Amino acid sequence: MTETWEIAGEYVVIKALENGVTIIGLTRGKDTKFHHSEKLDKGEVMIAQFTEHTSAIKIRGKVELLTKHGRLRTDE
């Protein structure tokens, strides 16, 4: 249970600062692949979670990103 929580316990909050922001989930494992994508318009918010299947999240566009490590904006 502890191992699963460590993998699945990390969330990020993504707020689009412009229309057409793309969020792409990338898989874990030997080969990294796209497994999910979303489009956000200005003002929309998405809460994403790192899981057993998601090891990375790629973001295209201007966003405000909140994590347990802090806040950042892609336009700064």
pLDDT in tens, 5-63: 455 568 899 999 999 999 998 887 777 777 789 999 999 999 988 777 777 888 999 99
What number of other Cβ atoms are within 10 A of residue 40's Cβ? 21
The pTM assigned to this predicted structure is 0.77
- In this structure, are residues 44 and 16 in contact, taking their beta carbons and an 8 Å threshold? yes
Report the CATH fold assignment for 2-73: Immunoglobulin-like (2.60.40)
Sheet with strand 45-49: strands edge to edge: 45-49, 11-16, 63-67, 70-73
